[in-house]
Structure 1
């Protein structure tokens, strides 16, 4: 099992990055993205910030609606083709830091709830073929009637395997429960093979030994990813260690990885060395992390579609009471009070 299903009554939102490239693709097909989004309860401004959380059902519906309105049966696969690993944000960092392709996929499954809380994954062996299978599971009630979203999830798994192995690996088979919605040529163009439709699960099957091989040059990939997403750019000579840690934590906190070892790895330093350098600059790691959490809480509370329970989970708190105590300490008000009136972070 890759992930433990979360409570679907709490985790009902997905990062806006899930619709990265949506507006451009709709326009390229002669459609009106704003009209499609509005029909699904969204507006274009919702897509401006990739870290914003949007209702999962509305996002899934927008993709299905676009395919239907435009008559583009491979819309989901086209959208997936436009989204690189960077679309996953820090989840991509976790995946690319793994020593093997399989471990990268496992780590992706472990933390996928930070990107799309409705998804989970499980692995099992196909006894008749000797292949290891990865199944994608959705907690959306209408998932069975949304083939575009399913195809995006499965296609993205294929994309990750291709990227992590630098093109050396591909699934032995692709499985989809639903009947084909596009042409055979479209599936072969996007996936490199024709999926097995009407299957017992949605996912992929792969050689169990091949994807356990070390990932080629994964340290180089990780460093490039760190520079782009954790630091924003390679730090200049005048950038203080405190500022580097502050920039890293602003992102690490979103993945529930805001601990000293994770920050040290992001900056290619030993944890004790990093701590000493912070102390030399008069800074403390715990205070920087607290500030990062406070800033993120302010951003999350500004999104009314997020429940307080969901926010507590995203912060890694054991329950909502911990979130309440933190807000009282930071802002002098409870989360509910903060949402009712103007306040300053």
Structure 2
């Protein structure tokens, strides 16, 4: 289970306006509507998705994530938002998010990937593509564009294309109007395709001196976060997020943790662990947790735990637990 800053929850509820009972919704996930906004207050990602799905039963949510993203401002993200604003170019801004996003969410990772004269700004989020997760992804992409427009000198930033993995809503009118470019639903990725020229454009308030100061502060926060979370837990989390893309490679996981493969291997060996064993245990634990949630089908669980076929998942689970996934789920219902 991951966590998400309460700022996102508040913003989504506020964007819904009078269509929902905002204070009651916030209270249902432990947030006091009258209390000061605290971005460091986290809630469980599953509780957030549940809340969004309850909202979808009360209103048309097609444009909700876009309104939410449009309402985001750099200053609301604390030091990370200031570092985004103070970066000298948009590329620098997005690179800050890719490195420091762990300070305000444990369920999303960002990546800036060059592609010829363009770049992909990708978001990676593990989990079944339930409605709440889909809405959250759309809001995240919308906020990424809104923040870029806030810091750009003209305020007119637009990506070349927006790619979203889940199916399209009945109408694309709201999405294309907000992003100002083609929006490709049913894609193989979630992200923005951005021109090199747009990424290199100077930010309106870019300041190298302020950036250096803020980066130092963020590095301290990131270091403190890493120290309070064991390497084993951090690696398990990274593995769990990557499983829907297939079995993770040690090289990729080491890179995500900011260390060399040799260092990761040595640290695991010191604890009497191996990467293969930890991956297997993570798959098993994730499978058991998902099987306790009836919303996930066996085929979805197989995909989310890194198996290309449900039959392969069934064989592996029987090896782990001595029973099939269906038997495990049925026994848990008794």
TM-score by length of 2: 0.58
Distance in 2, matches of 1:203 and 1:144, equals: 18
Distance in 1, matches of 2:72 and 2:140, equals: 12
Residue aligning to 1:83 = 72
Residue aligning to 1:183 = 171
1:151 pairs with one of 135, 138, 146: 138
Say whether the 8 Å CA contact 1:76–1:152 is kept in structure 2.
Answer: yes
* Alpha-carbon displacement from aligned partner over 1:155-185 (angstroms, at most 9, x marks no partner): 1111122222232532111111112226222
Say whether the 8 Å CA contact 2:160–2:194 is kept in structure 1.
Answer: yes
Distance in 2, matches of 1:197 and 1:133, equals: 16
Q: Secondary structure at the match of 1:70?
A: coil
Say whether the 8 Å CA contact 2:90–2:203 is kept in structure 1.
Answer: yes
2:227 pairs with one of 318, 325, 328: 318
The Cα of 1:203 is off from its aligned counterpart by 0.6
> Structure 1 pair 118/169, CA: closer, same or farther in 2 (3 Å)?
same
Say whether the 8 Å CA contact 1:98–1:104 is kept in structure 2.
Answer: yes
> Structure 1 pair 70/36, CA: closer, same or farther in 2 (3 Å)?
farther
Residue aligning to 1:142 = 128
Residue aligning to 1:21 = 11
Distance in 2, matches of 1:216 and 1:150, equals: 27
> Structure 1 pair 133/36, CA: closer, same or farther in 2 (3 Å)?
same
Distance in 2, matches of 1:159 and 1:193, equals: 14
Distance in 1, matches of 2:48 and 2:170, equals: 21
1:64 and 2:50 matched: no
* Structure 1 portions without partners, runs of 5+: 1-8, 231-251, 259-312, 322-345
The Cα of 1:15 is off from its aligned counterpart by 1.9
Residue aligning to 1:163 = 150
* Structure 2 portions without partners, runs of 5+: 231-334
> Structure 1 pair 183/133, CA: closer, same or farther in 2 (3 Å)?
same
* Alpha-carbon displacement from aligned partner over 1:86-122 (angstroms, at most 9, x marks no partner): 2212210121222211011101111011111211112
Residue aligning to 2:161 = 173
The Cα of 1:67 is off from its aligned counterpart by 2.9
Distance in 2, matches of 1:180 and 1:154, equals: 15
> Structure 1 pair 168/14, CA: closer, same or farther in 2 (3 Å)?
same
Q: Secondary structure at the match of 1:180?
A: coil
Residue aligning to 1:73 = 62
The Cα of 1:192 is off from its aligned counterpart by 2.1
> Structure 1 pair 173/182, CA: closer, same or farther in 2 (3 Å)?
same
The Cα of 1:221 is off from its aligned counterpart by 12
Distance in 1, matches of 2:95 and 2:199, equals: 11
Distance in 2, matches of 1:78 and 1:168, equals: 17
Say whether the 8 Å CA contact 1:13–1:54 is kept in structure 2.
Answer: yes
Say whether the 8 Å CA contact 1:46–1:52 is kept in structure 2.
Answer: no
Give 1 or 2: higher helix fraction.
Answer: 2
1:1-345 superposed matches below 5 A: 12-29=2-19, 31-37=20-26, 41-44=29-32, 48-50=36-38, 51-126=40-115, 130-139=117-126, 141-143=127-129, 145=131, 146-166=133-153, 167-181=155-169, 183-219=171-207, 255-257=218-220, 315-316=224-225, 318-319=227-228
Distance in 2, matches of 1:182 and 1:79, equals: 20
Distance in 2, matches of 1:181 and 1:48, equals: 35
